Structure 1
Amino acid sequence: MSNSATDRAPVPQTLWAARGRHTGPDPDDVVRRTLRRHRTSGDLDDFTEPSAPEGSPHRVFEARWRAGGKVTVRARLTLAALPERPGHEWTLVAEAEEPWRAEWPSPATLFWPEDGVSGGDGDWDQHPTVSGLRFRQVNALPLDDKEMRRRLRDAAREAWCVNLVVHEAMTPDERGRLPLARLLPPGLRHRVIEHRATPQQFRAVNWALKDLGVEVPRGGAVLLPWDPAPAGYDRQAYSVRSVFLDGSEPAELFTALRDFAALPRPRPRGLGEALTGLRENWTLMTAREELERERRRVERYREALEAMTKSRDLYREAAEQAHEALAAYRDTPLPVLPQQRPSARNQSPLQQLTRSFERLRLPAWAQRPEAGEGMPRSAPGSGPEAAGEASGSVSAAGDGDRV
């Protein structure tokens, strides 16, 4: 299975992150009302709504509180309109000064109404990408096998959520039809998507899970792995053989779920950007935090100035060495090289052709036609022999004169 919606960078253990969809028309008003109510009750220290750039489709809210009465938590919620379907997508990241604990309050219910309904204005706990799925609710699997397979595959691809598949050994009563998420610790409640298969869907659900490499026991449950699977993931350890849907807490399942949620999970798509916005664009600061931020900024400026000064000194030293080398080069006399004959490759094509003909030129006597080729025969005393004799005579005469 390939999943391009995640990368291999792990999610920090101090981070709580979730993503969902609000189906109503005015989610920003819902968030403001909820934040005001929690600030009045003392659940929040403070909140703010930073001004967004002009023309930006996003709305941002920041809030801070103390989990457990002492651990500071900073949270940032971003709202974005969905052009392809109704509603708004929300992304919520909260970072604590210590590793996150499951018993701490859920950041989702500090920004959204606890009951999951925005005062009749729409639901905020919808799955971000798969229509029909909701947090804290029982999500019945489709009756069509192919549709079931598609839903489980698409849900498992979203690493923002923990996907739990439960098979009903028999038709449960009213208490058994209640969602198991209501019994989870607050820190896990809004991160779990619970899928339910009826007793008749046992073979179909395992056929649908075949691509994911897991299967659900009859009357049991299984936690779907992310892609790539987190380090330490054991398919057997996160498969529970029996889950009693009688309203009691399934201790074995919840232990496996807590252990699974604590594994280093892959970073879902968009989390890196949301985490950067929380850490670098945070505006809800105390006076002490603002002073510390300015000190860090001054320290960064000082380090940058030192680096620039060092770079300038190195450049000046290199320039001086270059000037000294150039001056020494100018004072050194250049050697006089012997004049060389231009090589053939430096000559023009006409010069090369002329030189070739000169090498092929024959002696003058070899160019005369033979006597039998229509020319008159030489007279006696003429020809090469006579010329030789005449030459000999001249030489002899010359020698006699010198004597």
Structure 2
Amino acid sequence: MNAAVAPEKPESPRTPGSTDASTKEAKASAVSLRSVAVTYTERVRGGDLGALPAVLGLIVLCVFFAALRPVFLSELNFANLLTQGAGSITIAMGLVFVLLLGEIDLSAGYASGVCAAVLAILLTDHGWPWYGAAGAAILTGTVIGLLLGVLVAKIGIPSFVVTLAAFLGFQGVVLILLKEGTNISIQDQTILAIANNNLSPAIGWALLAFCVAAYAAIQIRQNHNRGRRGLTIAPPALLAVRIGGLAVLGALAVHTLNQERSRNVIVDSLKGVPIVVPVIAVLLVAGTFLLQRTSFGLHIYAVGGNAEAARRAGINVAAIRISAFVICSSLAAVGGVIAASRGNSVDPNTGGSNVLLLAVGAAVIGGTSLFGGRGRVVDAVLGGMVVAVIQNGMGLMGYSSGVKYAVTGSVLLLAAGVDALSRRRAVQR
């Protein structure tokens, strides 16, 4: 028995060239600022917290320390915060790639120390130019990452075991390179400038204007392309909030850093954005583009979400894992260069002590999941600022290193707990 067929409605006449343009325009205009807020709220309720805990924690910590120690908000302390956490943030950016796969790299700290030692030896003992020595240090990190990645992806040794062995081994390598404890001073002015010098105020404002203009162009172009394909687009009000928020926060930061911070202006003027800030910004943009705008980034998330499904989809899982470790160790090398610049020297403690704790803490506190498949490079920056604020604020309050470690470890445990609970809630829904 044939089912009754409802009569078709006559199609409305179309003008030449209209095709599906009206349909696409309807879809593009269907999204409002309110619907974006509702969607985000549903995501949070579903367990996808993202960087929200880190942002809220950063705000609460800043208010808390500023209330107890007003000097926390001084221009000098603000600049110290940015340079203090730069090395750990850089290493944490690399760790994000490994953590997205559900793996771990416990050797990243001492790998940065090995690369810093290579930099110092080539600069001091062999007279290499700064670009050659820095390039050799980063190449050393790349080789380290390749070795670790092959052992994990090809041989099948768990990353925890491989990187724990490397953590122990690289301590010995640093001692060997530095002749059992030699302190090598960095004399090259270019390397020293990375973490110790500042941009001129004019260049700081010009750099901010360029960044805001570039960000605005990217956001508008992405929205336009999505509209052309008939996909939902962000409302203009949301674009204005994003672009305006970046402009306002950036202007406040640049204005603050352009104030005179020196206590003796006659001897030495100290103002401007620290050079290490645009270095971190470039790494952030490059890492974000790699993860979110390339097929390689999509493969990282796919392997981290379900490695077997990714393999069946034709993704070379082993190559992705090796690449993640290569990126991690290469960025650890950059972190080692920054640490050498900040310390004006390299010694056996470079890359050791609490470097790994702070880097892993930065990535996890910022919102990168320890279970893989969820996280962004910006998480490392946000988490790194949380860790730097804790260390800096407690230092201003006179607490000992032991208390700082205890508090930072507690915050890391709290972040991991939130990650586990939010993931469980997402699965239950």
TM-score (norm 1): 0.22
Q: Which has the higher strand share?
A: 1
TM-score (norm 2): 0.21
The structure having more radius of gyration, on CA atoms, is 1
Q: Which has the higher helix share?
A: 2
